Structure 1
Amino acid sequence: MSETAKIRVLIAEDDDNARSLLVELLATLGHTVVSEVATGREAYESAKDVVPDVVLLDVHMPDGSGIEAAERITQNIPGVAVVLFSGDQSLTLSDRDVTATAAIAFLPKPAPPRVLDSTIRLAATRAKELLNARKDAEAAKQALENRKTIERAKGILMRRTGSSEQEAYRILQRTSQDRSVPMVEIAKAVLASEPGLHDTAKG
């Protein structure tokens, strides 16, 4: 994310004055405040609705710990970065808190404008990178499962028709093209037609 890109920020701060100052500061820094709330529950509900790039979340909230809200946001809204902040200078986050919230940064309150700006930009970039990495991993896992399914279907066709591995693959390929259906779906149909493999094909 470029240094000039506008970051969409949700602010969760229970102090009205502090929240107003943050809204003004973020606007001055070139960011867009898409929502401002005063409780952890509101932070989670609002984040679901507006899906910001970054949630700037106070650790101490009137309805409980901001840590809990951060956990819910991280677990249920992929791609949203959480930046925790607090005016409690003695506060430190445990390893468990860091892991559970996936908080990308923890800022003192108030934070210098340049630090706040760079942290928000870094958090947004990092969150997108993590989301893309997760998607890539899921796609790779699915591709591997698809290959396994096709290999099993080829084996069944080879046994049924006496064809070679290459010929069995061509059968799947031609059927896929003729029906305009992904080859893995044709392979699943082959598995489903094989006695004793119905449960496996469904999975």
Structure 2
Amino acid sequence: MSLNNKQVNKKNLLHKKSMDPVIKDITVLLIEEQPNVSSMLKNALMDFGYHITKHISFDDNIIEQIDLCNPSILILATDLPSEEILKELAEINQLLPLPIVIFAENDSPNVIKNAIKSGVSAYVVNEILPQRLKSIISVANERFKAVQSLRNELKQAKTQLEGRKYIERAKGLIMQQKNISENEAYSKLRKMAMDQGCSLAMVAKNIIDVCQLLSTSKA
């Protein structure tokens, strides 16, 4: 195959990749040491059809830029992510969670472990291979979704547990004040929840709060 044909095939391949609707929907906030200098990573992302919303340095306020740009994914390229950067990524993971990919030169196990703890979805060491970009970003997205799903499940389980505790406590207060059985107290709670269009847990918490307020005012 001639050199010209190879170049044409390469262009056609990049064109097909850039037409991928999944890629076109992904917006990237790119962070590098020298954002004003054209980099291989930036060029590769653009060749594949990813939309770079902004290209910033590590001196910029990352959280502020995420809030302004609302990117689909955060990509960082650095020799070694500093402790300050990892702390900022951990804060991002709590306030504005999104998939995070780090391309780095350092393969220290401690650095990688701390990066994952900070919410990094993928930590890639050594040379950036353009042909691997799509799979790296896809894996990072899926890993982020899995972690978020698990986090939501844990949060929901915690909320349900707290709700049951509120209901049990509210039932006890109603039984004590009204001198009625547990079933009757539960029926009253259900009726109040239906009348107010609220959940049992919310009605129970309101009852507890009112009882605590009355108890405090009497003291």
| Coarse TM-score class (shorter-chain normalised) | 0.7 to 0.9
Could you tell me how far apart the structure 2 residues matched to 1:25 and 1:36 are? 14
Separation in 1, partners of 2:57, 2:124: 18
Question: How big is the shift at 1:104?
Answer: 2.5
Q: How does the TM-score come out when normalised to structure 1?
A: 0.77
CA distance in 2, matches of 1:147, 1:174: 17
- CA separation in 1, counterparts of 2:42 and 2:58? 16
Q: Equivalent residue of 1:49, what SS?
A: helix
2:129 matches 1:84: no
Pairing partner for 1:35 from 26, 33, 54: 54
- 1:12·1:57 contact (CA, 8 Å) conserved in 2? yes
Supply the AA of the counterpart residue of 1:123. A
CA deviation map 1:147-202 (0-9, x unaligned): 11011111221222233222211101111222233322321232234369968xxx
How far off its partner does 1:78 sit? 4.2
- Summarize deviations over 1:10-38 as a string: whole Å, max 9, x none: 1111234443x433321332322122112
Larger Rg: 2
**Aligned pairs for 1:13-24 within 5 A:** 13-15=32-34, 16-19=36-39, 21-24=40-43
Aligned equivalents of 1:112 and 1:190: distance in 2?
Answer: 60
The alpha-carbon distance between structure 1 residues 189 and 56, as it changes in their structure 2 partners (threshold 3 A), is closer
Q: Deviations over 1:75-94 (max 9, x none)?
A: 234431221113x4xx2234
Q: Does residue 124 in structure 1 map to residue 117 in structure 2? A: no
> Amino acid of the residue matched to residue 153 of structure 1?
A
Percentage of identical aligned residues: 24
CA–CA separation in structure 2 for the residues paired with 1:13 and 1:39: 7
- 1:93 maps to a residue whose letter is S
Structure 1: which 5+ runs fail to align? none
Q: 1:187 to 1:149 in 2, by over 3 A?
A: same
Q: Give how far 1:43 is off.
A: 3.4
- Pair 74,174 (structure 1): closer, same or farther in 2 beyond 3 Å: same
**Structure 1 residues 130, 78: closer, same or farther in 2, change over 3 A?**
farther
Which of 191, 203, 206 is matched with 1:174 structurally? 191
Alignment match, 2:88:
72
In structure 2, give the amino acid aligned to 1:74.
A
Larger CA deviation: 119-128 vs 10-19: 10-19
Relative to its length, the structure with more helix (as a share) is 2
Give the 3 Å change call, closer, same or farther, for CA 71–51 of structure 1 in structure 2: farther
The DSSP-based 3-state class of the residue aligned with 2:180 is: coil
SS for the counterpart of 1:83 is: strand
